[in-house]
Amino acid sequence: MPEYKLVSKNYEFPDQRLLKAALYRGGYEQWKRVIKEKTSPQAIIDEVKTAKLRGQGGAGFPAGVKWGFVPKDSPKPKYLCVNADEGEPGTFKDRTILEKDPHLLLEGIAIACYAVGIHTAFIYMRGEFYEPQAIVQQAIDDAKKEGLLGKNILGSGFDLDVIIHMGAGAYICGEETALLNSLEGLKGWPRLKPPFPAVIGAFACPTVVNNVETISCVPHIMRMGGEAFQQVGTEKDGGTKLFAVSGFVEKPGVYEMPLGTSLKELIYDVCGGVKDGKQLKGVIPGGSSSPILKPDEIDVPLEFEAMAEAGTMLGSGAVIVLDETVSIPQIFMVMSRFYAHESCGQCTPCREGCTWIYKISEKILAGDGKPEDLDTILSLAPMMNGTTVCPLGAAMAIPVMAMVEKYRDDFLALMKN
Amino acid sequence: MPEITINDITFEVPEGTNLIQAARKVGIDIPHFCYHPGLSVVGSCRMCQVELEQGDRKWIDLACSNSARDGLIVRTNTPEIKERVKATLEFLLMNHPTDCPICDDAGECKLQNYYMLHGLYDNRLTVDKWHKPKLHPVGPTVVLDSERCVLCSRCVRFCDEIWGERQLGIFGHGSNEVLINYPDKDLNNPYAGNVVDLCPVGALLDRDFRHKRRVWYLKSAQSICPQCSRGCNIYVHFDEDHDYKGEGRRVQRIKPRVNMAVNRWWICDRGRYGYHFIDAEERATDPMVNGEAVDWDMALARATELIKSKIKKPGPNSVAFLMAPIASNEDAYRALKLFRDTLKFANIGYDIPVSETLEKDQVLMTDDPYPNRRGFKDLGFGSVVNPFEAGEIVDEIKAGKIKGLVVSGTDLEGLVGENVEALTSKLEWLIVVSHDQNRLWQKATVALPMATYVEREGTFTNIKGTVQKFEKAIEPIGQAMPQWEIWQNLAKRFNTRWLYEDTKAVYDAMAQGKPEYETLNWQGTFGITHGMYPDNW
């Protein structure tokens, strides 16, 4: 299956970040149509539901359903938080939208806010995204000048303020409730759910939290119609997804594929296969939090359900290709060090478990490991999965178990003594 | 009311009851560290995972963040739950120094207790533990050992939610994060000591109690704090058997006793640390006549002579009785019987100002440092007896109109300031009843030592009119005796009609026909128990 470009359609034009160029290529057309035709908000939500648009940040929750959870009669203000805290190791797809087509995101924000009745949208951006911040801020300013955002948009009486909030560098703030705490100026600790953000979110008001890519799909849904959008993908996962392919592959980069494309096709046909004709060792298919696949497991459709059936997850669509030269125990150590460092420290199993596993991995790498250490890892990890406030514990535990189970011999090889 | 089932016990609880609290009602302790009924729910320790079942849905969730609803089935004893609790405990103990032999919390520590109940695994840690700050003074009264901390955030929430100022916080992330002061903040709020009670482990320790006694040597009596008119319910923890430690200090610490109508789970630091006078060097131990230690017989005989010398002639106007409302209702009742009804003193005052001003706050503290002003008033001090304020009585003394004075429980500093001579020089005699050798004691013709609130039983009436009983913890020091007994023994020398066998008899006489006293159940308290802190949520 070849690439299918929706979100990344205009990536090839270096001037797309400028409002004039974006307008020339059809930017804000759907937003203007919604305003002009006074489309009913419910119709937009229904269209997004029909499109089977799922959260592209990793969790895959249906976006239209999420919007529907926001109470309609709440006397409080409502907020949209666009999650641009792209921090999952291996993931670099949202950054391309922010840098190459910021107006697509803004148009999506405008339509989403209109549909849910929101007048303030925050873009919570990863702290290190200095350049995307400047680009998106310029885009917001330009769109405001043009009357596409701000007060009384295009004479419709609808107001929308878009505010960029920069994170401070914590991975956990990409988790939606930690993001909200961070946005409020609190420590980035995830909140207990329920209540869900759609009911009590930012500043204790109903809040929709969506990934950059998810929101950027909205204008395309409005253009194509929900049904057509869905048909690009699969029955349950509509549309396309950006895949950030990295590692030992001939042509790394961001590729937009219809959902349901085979992972094998993506690596071998689209990205040109393993670099320098080496043997494939394994593929981490959806960011570091997704369980690794062995070479014989990669012929699997890239969609949420099928990936789950294959014992892994679609995640953020960050495909990391590992060739035969890669040491899995080393990857294991680097990964567990990341989670041990980024665990927010709020709840026990994740706080202590990540560090414990990381320290064991260091020991194994130093040649001091014992086979019992692998058993310890395999008994600790399940206790971090589903026992914590947020999914970070699971994001560490599940891939860790997969690596130890699938590449046990590689670990044992380091324990010769 | 919703009917819920916990481990096959089905019972009714009010809608919305937290599951940990509901389980306690039927004697099931769901293990937890971060949950406390007085603080917000954060669900961070993950110890209270239980299996829930409702209709055809079955799932595992936290007990602390779920509340009772009709038909809910809770299980705390399934193999999966037991495994999770054990695993959480193992995670918590991973970086814990397990230095129980030198930890003051040993015996009251949740980690210890839960390990014995739910852990009992073999240590399989083969990597190093974190090292974190130890012996860090987070405030004037509390010291922190970060290595022992389980990061439950109870202390943080206490400062935020109960006191209302961020003084402690958890900084950093991952397993080397630490509990520590906010920048430039000291844990110096007047309720700081409560974080020690809240701390489920030995991380936050009371500097006042640290390394004083092992808690299993302590005994406990239920008492009422005498440091202000709130009447907070407390435990007095004492140890008379190990006097080789602590220079004979018998009372070791004060802990709050839960009373939802009065102090909830808290007490202030003034109450917590205000017990040192009990075993202080200045304690009055023997009756004195003109500065010479004598026995009770001699002292009371002399006091009787002195009172008789004035009461007939020049008459009741020449004598006065000042009684500070630090005394119990029984003391006040017996004193009124003597001075008002038998001796017919014309000048009786109780409304004695204090030099110290208390600042009322939003939590518990009132601006009245006397524990029993309301009780004195209810018994008829002030209104019925005479129109005199204590200040006017002092003016009369200074004017030379009053020649004999009986004072109990105060050194009158709030009335006469530093210059006590101005008062005593005008008096022919002065009888002082006091628990310490205060400056009036030094000047007294007859000085009589009284027992403190922990050395006897009695009742106080708090600012809201609630009558509350305090129990006897330890024997009175030296020859000291409860104040009402002093008055009764004195009264015997004036052929009194009113004789009471014990404190309860005084109380019963006082309570007869008065509904505000009858609400108290004298027998309904528990007596001396072991001194490990029982309100340990």
A13 domain-assigned: no
Which of the listed residues A281, A307, A323 is the one where a domain comes to its end?
A323
Q: Report CB contact under 8 Å: B45, A348.
A: yes
For residue range B514-526, list pLDDT tens digits in order: 887 877 777 666 6
Nearest-angstrom CA–CA distance, B259 and B432: 35
A316 and A356 part of one domain: no
**Residue B527, pLDDT above cutoff 80:** no
**Residue A339, pLDDT above cutoff 90:** yes
Residue with tokens 């969609």: A303
Which of the listed residues A297, A323, A349 is the one where a domain comes to its end?
A323
Nearest-angstrom CA–CA distance, A133 and A223: 27
The mean pLDDT value of chain A amounts to: 96
Nearest-angstrom CA–CA distance, B396 and B399: 5
What average pLDDT does range B140-150 have in this prediction? 96
CA distance B79 to chain A (A): 13
Per-residue pLDDT at B419: 85
Express as a percent the part of chain A with pLDDT over 90.
Answer: 98
At residue B141 the predicted structure's pLDDT band, cuts being 50, 70 and 90, is very high
Please tell me which residue of chain A has the smallest CA distance to B125.
A356
Q: Which residues of B touch A372 (CB under 8 A)?
A: 124
Q: Report CB contact under 8 Å: A342, B173.
A: yes
A7 domain-assigned: no
Helix/strand/coil for B289: strand
pLDDT greater at residue B434 or residue B391: B434
CATH number of residue A289's parent domain:
3.10.20.600
Q: Which residue ranges does chain B devote to CATH 3.10.20.740?
A: 3-82
At residue B86 the predicted structure's pLDDT band, cuts being 50, 70 and 90, is very high
Per-residue pLDDT at B537: 76
Per-residue pLDDT at B524: 61
Helix/strand/coil for B361: coil
For A414, half-sphere exposure in the C-beta direction (CA atoms, 13 angstrom radius) is 22
Q: Which residues of B touch A354 (CB under 8 A)?
A: 174-175
For residue range B472-510, list pLDDT tens digits in order: 999 999 999 999 999 999 999 998 888 999 999 999 999
What average pLDDT does range A347-371 have in this prediction? 96
For residue range A131-170, list pLDDT tens digits in order: 999 999 999 999 999 999 999 999 999 999 999 999 999 9
CA distance A365 to chain B (A): 13
CB of A344 within 8 Å of a chain B CB? The answer is: yes
At residue B534 the predicted structure's pLDDT band, cuts being 50, 70 and 90, is low
CATH number of residue A393's parent domain:
1.20.1440.230
Q: Looking at the DSSP assignment, which residues form a beta bridge with residue B347? A: B320
A214 and A245 part of one domain: no
Please tell me which residue of chain B has the smallest CA distance to A169.
B173
Please tell me which residue of chain A has the smallest CA distance to B85.
A383
Helix/strand/coil for A315: coil
Q: Report CB contact under 8 Å: A356, B44.
A: no
Per-residue pLDDT at B243: 72
Helix/strand/coil for B337: helix
Express as a percent the part of chain B with pLDDT over 70.
Answer: 96
Query: Do the beta carbons of residue A297 and residue A267 sit within 8 Å?
Result: no
A275 domain-assigned: yes
Express as a percent the part of chain A with pLDDT over 70.
Answer: 100
Q: Which residue from A343, A352, A389 is facing B94, i.e. has the nearest CB? A: A352
A164 and A81 part of one domain: yes
Structural domain boundaries, residue A122:
19-232
Per-residue pLDDT at B380: 85
**Interface predicted TM-score of the whole assembly (ipTM), two decimals:** 0.93
Q: Report CB contact under 8 Å: B44, A348.
A: yes
What pTM does this model have? 0.93
Q: Report CB contact under 8 Å: A387, B49.
A: yes
What token pair was written down for A208?
């929709």
A171 and A29 part of one domain: yes
CATH number of B3-82: 3.10.20.740
Which of the listed residues A232, A261, A283 is the one where a domain comes to its end?
A232
Helix/strand/coil for A156: coil
CB of A170 within 8 Å of a chain B CB? The answer is: yes
CB of A388 within 8 Å of a chain B CB? The answer is: yes
CA distance A189 to chain B (A): 10
What average pLDDT does range A3-26 have in this prediction? 96
Q: Which residue from A341, A352, A363 is facing B91, i.e. has the nearest CB? A: A352
What average pLDDT does range A383-387 have in this prediction? 95
At residue B354 the predicted structure's pLDDT band, cuts being 50, 70 and 90, is confident
Per-residue pLDDT at B388: 61
CA distance A204 to chain B (A): 15
Please tell me which residue of chain A has the smallest CA distance to B48.
A387
A53 and A201 part of one domain: yes
A355 and A290 part of one domain: no
Please tell me which residue of chain B has the smallest CA distance to A340.
B174
What average pLDDT does range A396-406 have in this prediction? 97
Please tell me which residue of chain A has the smallest CA distance to B34.
A347
A319 and A332 part of one domain: no
Query: Do the beta carbons of residue B535 and residue B257 sit within 8 Å?
Result: yes
**DSSP 8-state symbol, B224:** E
**Residue A31, pLDDT above cutoff 90:** yes
Q: Exposure of B70 by Cβ count < 10 A (0-12 exposed, 13-18 middle, 19+ buried)?
A: exposed
CA distance A167 to chain B (A): 15
Q: Which residue ranges does chain B devote to CATH 3.30.70.20?
A: 100-279
CA distances (Å), origin B421, targets B34, B98, B398, B440, B444: 57, 59, 10, 10, 12
Spell out the residues 6+ positions from residue B410 whose beta carbon is closer than 8 angstroms to its own: B322, B324, B326, B352, B354, B440
A1 domain-assigned: no
CA proximity to A299, closest of A289, A290, A307: A307
User: With helix as H, strand as E and coil as C, how does B378-442 read?
Assistant: HHCCCCCCCCCCHHHHHHHHHCCCCCEEEEECCCCHHHHCCCCHHHHCCCCEEEEEECECCHHHH
At residue B381 the predicted structure's pLDDT band, cuts being 50, 70 and 90, is confident
Per-residue pLDDT at B473: 95
CATH number of residue A151's parent domain:
3.40.50.11540
Q: Which residues of B touch A397 (CB under 8 A)?
A: none
A14 domain-assigned: no
Domain B288-468+476-521: CATH architecture, name and number where available: 3-Layer(aba) Sandwich (3.40)
Instruction: Give the rounded distance of the alpha carbon of A400 from its chain centre.
Output: 20
A299 domain-assigned: yes
What average pLDDT does range B44-52 have in this prediction? 97
Number of domains in chain A: 3
Q: Which residue from A347, A359, A373 is facing B44, i.e. has the nearest CB? A: A347
**Residue B513, pLDDT above cutoff 90:** no
- Residue count (chain A): 417
pLDDT greater at residue B522 or residue B183: B183
CA distance B31 to chain A (A): 14
Q: Report CB contact under 8 Å: B47, A348.
A: yes
Nearest-angstrom CA–CA distance, B323 and A140: 76
Helix/strand/coil for B53: strand
At residue B384 the predicted structure's pLDDT band, cuts being 50, 70 and 90, is very low
For residue range A90-139, list pLDDT tens digits in order: 999 999 999 999 999 999 999 999 999 999 999 999 999 999 999 999 99
**Residue A42, pLDDT above cutoff 90:** yes
For residue range B209-246, list pLDDT tens digits in order: 999 899 999 999 999 999 999 999 999 999 988 876 66
A49 and A194 part of one domain: yes
What average pLDDT does range B243-263 have in this prediction? 86
Q: Which residues of B touch A336 (CB under 8 A)?
A: none
CB of A338 within 8 Å of a chain B CB? The answer is: no
Nearest-angstrom CA–CA distance, B153 and B416: 48
Please tell me which residue of chain A has the smallest CA distance to B150.
A348
Fold designation for B100-279 = Alpha-Beta Plaits (3.30.70)
CB of A192 within 8 Å of a chain B CB? The answer is: yes
Q: Number of helices (H) and strands (E) in chain A: give both, helices first.
A: 17, 8
A218 and A152 part of one domain: yes
CB of A353 within 8 Å of a chain B CB? The answer is: yes
> Which of B58, B111, B127, B179 should one mutate to test binding to chain A, selecting the residue with the greatest count of A CBs within 10 A?
B127
What average pLDDT does range B31-44 have in this prediction? 96
Q: Report CB contact under 8 Å: A348, B92.
A: yes
Q: Report CB contact under 8 Å: B170, A360.
A: no
**Residue B385, pLDDT above cutoff 60:** no
Spell out which chain B residues touch chain A, with contact meaning CB-CB distance below 8 angstroms.
Answer: 41-47, 49, 60, 62, 65, 83-84, 87-88, 91-92, 94-95, 124-128, 130, 150-151, 169-170, 172-177
What token pair was written down for B451?
């027992």
Per-residue pLDDT at B325: 94
